[in-house]
Amino acid sequence: MKKLLVLACAAMMSNMSLAQEKGILGQGETPHVHLKSINIGDCKWTEGFWADKFHTAEHSMVPYMGEVLTGEVGHALNNFKIAAGLKEGKHKGMHWHDGDFYKWMEAAMYVYAQNGDKKLLEEIDGYVDIIAKAQEEDGYLQTQVQLRSNVDRYENRKYHEMYNTGHLLTSACIHHRITGQDNFLNIAIKHADLLYKTFNTDDPRYGRFGFNQTQIMGLVEMYRTTGDKKYLDLAERFINNRGKYKVEETPETKGYPIGDMVQERVPLREADEAVGHAVLALYYYAGAADVAAETGEKALVDALDRLWENVTDKKMYVTGAVGQAHYGASTNRDKIEEGFIDAYMMPNMTAYNETCANVCNSMFSYRMLGLHGESKYADIMELVLYNSGLSGISIEGKDYFYSNPLRMVQGSRDYSKHNTETPHREPYLECFCCPPNIVRTVAKSANWAYSLSNDGIAVNMYGGNRLETKLEDGSDIILNQVTNYPWEGAVNITVEKAKKKPFDMMLRIPDWAHGTTVKVNGEAVESEVVAGKFTTVNRKWKKGDIITIDMPMDVKLVEANPLVEEARNQVAVRRGPIVYCVETPDLPEGSKILDVYIKGGAPLKVNYEKDFLGGVATIEAPILIRKDQSIEASMYSTVSKPEFTESTIKMVPYFSWSNRGESEMTVFMPVIWNNL
């Protein structure tokens, strides 16, 4: 009997570990989180918005990007071939181009996890073989350094070795979890071991080196994958190095901004303001959240709470975009590029909002969702995914924005001087970090739809999908979700399999969804239903139970905080999670974006157009067109009573703009209230 009990306990523990061994975040043994990742591939989009986007990722985004990166245009694979001795030539592309290739490989693996296409896996494993040949014997792997005779290893942080390292480690861990193979993981282990040998030191020469902090996330995933604690220790060291050393130009920092720009002036545990390059900052915060999930350190979590609030309450656009300016300064007067500037300083036309930064905003919030289990973090994830994330890629999946402004006015800027700011999407960007970032996000989106709680399941995102996974106790659960969200607010979740004992079903009520109702088998739940929180329903679930969530999808006008000077007396239009914009193809002939005033209080009609822009709900909006102003006019001029003509226009989702040729666009519009 004793032997049987031991075997039973072992089986139970095995089932518990199986519940999380293949998550996007490998949190099987992570102790300090409320919500954990489901296994990759356990949720699949079946129909509707995200099913369509994943189909585009599978058949257009990933294949097309693969052609670019493995060919002569992208040249990323060529760099590895040259380093491996398989091809003659020189390194081409930015210093961080290796990382772009790793991100694309990660995206391809998410697609493979859904469709099981063996040819795709064979293709990726072929690239793994080339990368293995490019790796040096001691584990070093950075083609932008290996192929330059005048550059030494870890000579200067401007070569972005840490950025490439982080994406290498993360991609290899994802590959291992999906395939069970060690070929890519072994490359990552050799590289991570060299990183530990090099950077596990108090030498300032290395202490200030780590920035563009993807290596922190990558090291934590290596710890979670291999169980080797030295990787977690090194990740924590990179966090502890912030603010530890004097900020000054040294041989290792020359040629790139210092201080707040690269997250090195203020110790993280003392920080209360998001500063510097937005991508560097948010990757760093996401990595720190991964470390905190393993260590449970309160001071670290408290700092991340302050930083998340600072980003979302004072420096984030209505679209979920972040990184207000291409150039500027921090409050400590450090030079800033592509990053955060002062609170509430939110330009629209010159908003930078790098696609990578927006994606990183959702990645940071996903980790905070795990740490705290609060719905507000999933609200930000959703906001980014539907708006400032998807705006970075065209509907057909082959053209890209690097920056994502909230207003585009023709003739207002000379875009030839801004290689990452363009008036329309481009088929290839020399700085190619953003395209694979948004593609891997779309490809993995189903894995964000649900999380596991200690006693149940959390529904983070709505969309037609099927979930077949295990709860934390190892029991099976199968859910089928049917909805036309985000165009309609009705969601039906059918329980197809569940354990006999009661467990929690946590249902996210979005922060905009006031008046939402939740029913089980047609009867209202007793649990409180509050916008911006999870509604938790605990019961004995059985096959055939149907959860019905009905979210009001009213069209709402949104105004910014009064301290946002540029948006004073202006409003944006939002319906559900979708932010809308006005685009010139929908204006009366001869009208310009700056002529448009919205009529506050006028009825706004919703129309679903299945054959327009990939199938979207548009908004019919009464507007006023002003005809007596021009950007060619003098800087200031006197005005009497403006002249307006009335019209009705169609507003489109912000993510869909610039898919009908070059155009003007605005999210915020001046408002004239009918009742005044």
Confidence of residue 674 (pLDDT cuts 50, 70, 90): confident
The upper half-sphere exposure of residue 291, i.e. CA atoms within 13 Å in the direction of its Cβ, equals: 33
Q: Quote the tokens at residue 538.
A: 């605990």
Q: pLDDT at position 68, please?
A: 97
Residue 656: is it exposed, middle or buried by C-beta count within 10 angstroms (0-12/13-18/19+)?
buried
Q: pLDDT at position 179, please?
A: 98
Which residue is associated with the tokens 């954990």?
Answer: 36
559-587: pLDDT as tens digits: 999 999 999 999 999 999 999 999 999 99
Nearest-CA neighbor of 27 among 364, 371, 308, 302? 371
Determine the residue type at 350: T
53-66: pLDDT as tens digits: 999 999 999 999 99
Give me the mean pLDDT over the 345-357 stretch: 97
Q: What is the pTM of this model?
A: 0.96
List CB contacts of 642: < 8 A, sequence separation 6 or more: 626, 628, 629
Q: Would you say 666 and 407 are in contact if contact means Cβ atoms under 8 Å apart? A: yes
Q: pLDDT at position 6, please?
A: 34
List CB contacts of 452: < 8 A, sequence separation 6 or more: 19, 20, 35, 36, 37, 38, 458, 469, 471, 472
User: Would 20-448 and 449-550 be classified into the same CATH topology?
Assistant: no
459-491: pLDDT as tens digits: 999 999 999 999 999 999 999 999 999 999 999
Q: Buried b / exposed e across 442-459, counting CB within 10 Å, b at 16+? A: bbbbbbbbbbbbeebbbb
Give me the mean pLDDT over the 658-662 stretch: 95
219-241: pLDDT as tens digits: 999 999 999 999 999 999 999 99
Confidence of residue 94 (pLDDT cuts 50, 70, 90): very high
Longest CA pairwise span in the chain (Å) = 95
186-223: pLDDT as tens digits: 999 999 999 999 999 999 889 998 877 899 999 999 99
| Lowest-pLDDT range of 252-266, 301-315, 407-421, 536-550 | 407-421
302 alpha carbon, distance to own chain's centre: 22
Q: Would you say 192 and 140 are in contact if contact means Cβ atoms under 8 Å apart? A: no
Give the sign of the dihedral formed by CA 284, CA 229, CA 445, CA 574: negative
| Lowest-pLDDT range of 14-28, 82-96, 272-286, 542-556 | 14-28
What are the boundaries of each domain within the chain? Answer: 20-448, 449-550, 555-673
Q: Distance between CA atoms of 632 and 563, rounded to whole angstroms?
A: 29
| Separate counts of helices (H) and strands (E) for the chain | 17, 25
518 alpha carbon, distance to own chain's centre: 29
Q: Evaluate if residue 38 carries a pLDDT over 90.
A: yes
Q: Quote the tokens at residue 480.
A: 């089928």
Q: Distance between CA atoms of 559 and 424, rounded to whole angstroms?
A: 27
Q: Distance between CA atoms of 126 and 3, rounded to whole angstroms?
A: 47
List CB contacts of 187: < 8 A, sequence separation 6 or more: 128, 131, 132, 135, 141, 168, 172
Q: Evaluate if residue 322 carries a pLDDT over 50.
A: yes
Q: pLDDT at position 46, please?
A: 98
Q: pLDDT at position 415, please?
A: 81
| Per-state percent for the chain, helix, strand, coil, to nearest 5 | 40, 20, 40
> In this structure, what DSSP letter does residue 590 have?
T
Q: Evaluate if residue 12 carries a pLDDT over 90.
A: no
Q: Distance between CA atoms of 399 and 417, rounded to whole angstroms?
A: 20
Q: Distance between CA atoms of 232 and 181, rounded to whole angstroms?
A: 22
Q: Would you say 225 and 174 are in contact if contact means Cβ atoms under 8 Å apart? A: no
Three-state DSSP class for residue 37 = strand
Q: Distance between CA atoms of 141 and 158, rounded to whole angstroms?
A: 16
Which residue is associated with the tokens 């207002």?
Answer: 412
Q: Distance between CA atoms of 423 and 669, rounded to whole angstroms?
A: 19
Q: pLDDT at position 265, please?
A: 95
Q: pLDDT at position 419, please?
A: 78
Q: Would you say 475 and 457 are in contact if contact means Cβ atoms under 8 Å apart? A: no
Give me the mean pLDDT over the 116-136 stretch: 98
List CB contacts of 240: < 8 A, sequence separation 6 or more: none
Q: pLDDT at position 17, please?
A: 44
Q: Distance between CA atoms of 66 and 276, rounded to whole angstroms?
A: 32
Q: Distance between CA atoms of 320 and 377, rounded to whole angstroms?
A: 12
Q: Would you say 41 and 178 are in contact if contact means Cβ atoms under 8 Å apart? A: yes
Give me the mean pLDDT over the 446-466 stretch: 98
- First-to-last C-alpha distance (Å) of the chain: 82
Confidence of residue 9 (pLDDT cuts 50, 70, 90): very low
Q: Distance between CA atoms of 475 and 379, rounded to whole angstroms?
A: 28
Q: pLDDT at position 675, please?
A: 60
Q: Distance between CA atoms of 191 and 554, rounded to whole angstroms?
A: 52
Q: Would you say 406 and 323 are in contact if contact means Cβ atoms under 8 Å apart? A: no
Residue 77 φ then ψ, to 5°: -65, -35
Q: Quote the tokens at residue 214.
A: 């993807």
* Domain 449-550: which CATH number of 2.40.350, 2.60.40, 3.30.420, 2.40.128: 2.60.40
Give me the mean pLDDT over the 316-325 stretch: 98
Class of the domain covering 20-448: mainly alpha
Q: How many residues does the chain have?
A: 676
619-633: pLDDT as tens digits: 999 999 998 787 777
Give me the mean pLDDT over the 21-50 stretch: 96
Nearest-CA neighbor of 644 among 663, 622, 667, 665? 622
| Lowest-pLDDT range of 5-9, 109-113, 209-213, 635-639 | 5-9
Q: Evaluate if residue 547 carries a pLDDT over 90.
A: yes
Q: pLDDT at position 416, please?
A: 78
Q: pLDDT at position 19, please?
A: 55
Q: Would you say 498 and 473 are in contact if contact means Cβ atoms under 8 Å apart? A: no
Share of the chain above pLDDT 90, in %: 91
Q: Distance between CA atoms of 378 and 360, rounded to whole angstroms?
A: 14
Q: Quote the tokens at residue 394.
A: 């065209």
